[in-house]
Amino acid sequence: MTISPFATGPDRDQQVLADPPPAPTLSPPGRATPDRATPDRATPDRATPDRAAPDRATPDRASAVVRAVCTVAFWASLLFFVYLWVADGSLDKMFAKPEGPLSYPGKLAGLVSADLMIVQVVLMARLPWIERSFGRDRLVRIHRWTGFTSLNLMLAHIVLLMLGYMVRDGRTVLGSLWWMVADWRGMMLAALGTVLLVMVGVTSSRAARRRLRYHTWHLLHLYTLLGIALVVPHMIWTGSEFRPQWAQVLLVTLYALAVGCLLVFRLLVPLLRSARHRVVVDRVVEDAPGNVSVHLRGRDLERLGTQAGQFFIWRFRDGRGWTRGNPYALSAAPQADTLRITAKEVGTNSRRLRGLRPGTPVLFEGPYGRFTSASGHGGRVTAMASGIGITPVRALMEDLDYAPGEAVLIYRGSSEDDFVFRHELDELARERGVRVVYLPGHRPSGRTSWQAAPASEEDHVAIRSLVPDVCDGDVYICGPDAWAQSAAEAARRAGVPNTHIHVERFAF
């Protein structure tokens, strides 16, 4: 019962890829490490100007404050629902009635589930300060946990109540279930809402998501809101915990605020921003076979506060199906009036980018994501990208602050033909002294690894071999889910502090 806030994550029907070809410092297909691009290779007129190290203390403190406030708010809401259960005398009734040991824990499970549903709606709203403070990777984990925990508690609520009333009244399973649904006010609506939420939960399992197109999954996921809306009324009409009017008002207020956040930040703000900045397609360029870049222009785009490494959800108003949002990361650092995205044509929605005409109006949501220079600590940089993961990494390498010779980009692809952005990476190598390591080849058989076969070294040893001082700075990782997990684990085992590892997974 999760939502992808990608969403950053394209699926096989909308994979965000990078831009053009040609190449920087090349390594032969195998394990050899390419020569370093040294600062003296840059010509004087193209040398990178000195940059003042960014002050990361303020953003870090602000993010810490937001995380602390969110944590306090979460536990306060949870305690509120537990208080309602205790104030209703449930502790005494649990041991005084025959059905008590089943029914009253079931009621508590339902209350906690209701609280987590509110959290789910807030997470779906993608509040910008929460996105920036937690980062997409952590929010995805939180969203999955709250979604599946809420669903499991809701099912436990139903089963425990049904068993409790079976004990009390001697009913059969079906008889007890029918009595609850038919005779209790609002339970018919709640039963329908439960079916919808179970459907969302099933289709959000990893196995199901691998078989679904992103837009199919996303459409099914929207039924979360309808399911919650159908479940809430029975809490007020039949829940003894909500007999006090103040409790009813507070419950409705919490849900109204959550839904209000969703409508404002996922509907109203994107519409207003799209109208203000008037983004349109400028041109479409085929950078390499199967890779298309869409250049966008608009007005006052710098006021969006976009950073390299972030992504938007785009809707190109080019005809039928334009209402479906497509998440694509920026493939170049944002400019005052231009943006660029690049996609690999692997599905219906990514293939339609080729047919976009100059002047096509664009609606957008975002920017989203914390995979930016603001999350780093300055100094040495190690970037690791695989396949489609090169898109935000290429933009990020353009924006990060590092001295010549202090940045390494490890780029893995299935073959030499899969490496994109090569001429742009070559420019970075010349101008900023980035050392680029290409690792062509398929995955090693028999294990999950970030390396290309043959992988004779353990993953963390391979990182230390390529970047001996990897622990002295930040590590940015972007690629498919399993690959990114493997790379992050290898970086941790190599000694990189967890706070210096920044991961963006391309999965929905």
Nearest to 17 by CA among 331, 246, 238: 331
Q: Where in the sequence is the domain holding 117, given as residue range(s)? A: 57-271
Give pLDDT, residue 176. Answer: 82
Classify residue 442 by burial, with Cβ atoms within 10 Å: 0-12, 13-18, 19+: exposed
In a domain, 7, yes or no: no
- Best-predicted range by mean pLDDT (12-26, 52-66, 261-275, 383-397): 261-275
Does residue 222 sit in the same domain as residue 297? no
Does residue 183 sit in the same domain as residue 89? yes
Does residue 345 sit in the same domain as residue 258? no
CATH number of the domain encompassing residue 447: 3.40.50.80
Name the DSSP letter for residue 89: T
Nearest to 362 by CA among 295, 310, 442, 455: 295
Does residue 389 sit in the same domain as residue 495? yes
CA count, 13 A, side-chain hemisphere, 96: 5
SS3 state of residue 440:
strand
SS3 for 168-229 is HHCCCHHHHHHHHHHHCCCHHHHHHHHHHHHHHHHHCCHHHHHHCCHHHHHHHHCHHHHHHH
CA count, 13 A, side-chain hemisphere, 416: 8
Mean pLDDT, the chain, rounded, equals 83
Give pLDDT, residue 350. Answer: 76
CATH number of the domain encompassing residue 278: 2.40.30.10
For 254, 442, 470, the CA distances from 70, given in Å and listed in that order, are: 14, 42, 33
Does residue 212 sit in the same domain as residue 67? yes
Does residue 67 sit in the same domain as residue 149? yes
SS3 state of residue 19:
coil
Handedness of CA 261, 267, 270, 272 (dihedral sign): negative
Does residue 344 sit in the same domain as residue 413? no
Across residues 162-172, what is the average pLDDT?
86
SS3 state of residue 99:
coil
In a domain, 6, yes or no: no
Does residue 38 sit in the same domain as residue 142? no
User: Which of 24-28, 146-150, 163-167 has the weakest average pLDDT?
Assistant: 24-28
In a domain, 5, yes or no: no
Pairing between β-strand 311-316 and β-strand 326-329 as defined by DSSP bridges: antiparallel
Q: Among 211, 245, 271, where does a domain finish?
A: 271
Bridge partners of 327? 313
Nearest to 486 by CA among 465, 459, 457: 459
In a domain, 199, yes or no: yes
Residues 6+ apart with CB under 8 A from 136: 5, 6, 8, 368, 369, 370, 371, 504
Does residue 131 sit in the same domain as residue 229? yes
Q: How far apart are CA 430 and CA 434, in angstroms?
A: 8
Structure tokens at 12: 């096989």
Structure tokens at 419: 């490496």
Q: How far apart are CA 37 and CA 476, in angstroms?
A: 20
Nearest to 493 by CA among 471, 467, 466, 469: 471
Does residue 93 sit in the same domain as residue 174? yes
Number of structural domains (the chain) is: 3
Contact between residue 380 and residue 468 where contact means Cβ atoms under 8 Å apart: no
Q: How far apart are CA 422 and CA 26, in angstroms?
A: 10
In a domain, 8, yes or no: no
Q: How far apart are CA 371 and CA 497, in angstroms?
A: 17
In a domain, 4, yes or no: no
Q: Among 271, 306, 323, where does a domain finish?
A: 271
Q: Give first-to-last CA distance, the chain, whole Å.
A: 12
Does residue 113 sit in the same domain as residue 165? yes
- Whole-number CA gyration radius for the chain: 26
Residues 6+ apart with CB under 8 A from 467: 382, 408, 410
Tens digit of each residue's pLDDT (9 = 90 or more) over 115-124: 999 999 999 9
Give pLDDT, residue 502. Answer: 92
Give pLDDT, residue 11. Answer: 35
Bridge partners of 411? 385, 438
Using N-to-C axis directions, what is the helix angle for 223-238 and 214-221, rounded to 10°?
A: 20
In a domain, 10, yes or no: no
Structure tokens at 490: 């290898």
User: Which of 386-400, 411-425, 456-470 has the weakest average pLDDT?
Assistant: 411-425
Q: Among 243, 271, 299, where does a domain finish?
A: 271
User: Which of 123-127, 294-298, 334-338, 420-424 has the weakest average pLDDT?
Assistant: 420-424
SS3 state of residue 281:
strand
Give pLDDT, residue 507. Answer: 56
H/E run at residue 384: strand 380-386
CATH number of the domain encompassing residue 189: 1.20.120
Across residues 278-296, what is the average pLDDT?
88
Does residue 113 sit in the same domain as residue 205? yes
463 pLDDT band, cuts 50/70/90, is: very high
207 pLDDT band, cuts 50/70/90, is: confident
Give pLDDT, residue 57. Answer: 42
Q: How far apart are CA 346 and CA 12, in angstroms?
A: 6
In a domain, 313, yes or no: yes
Give pLDDT, residue 338. Answer: 95
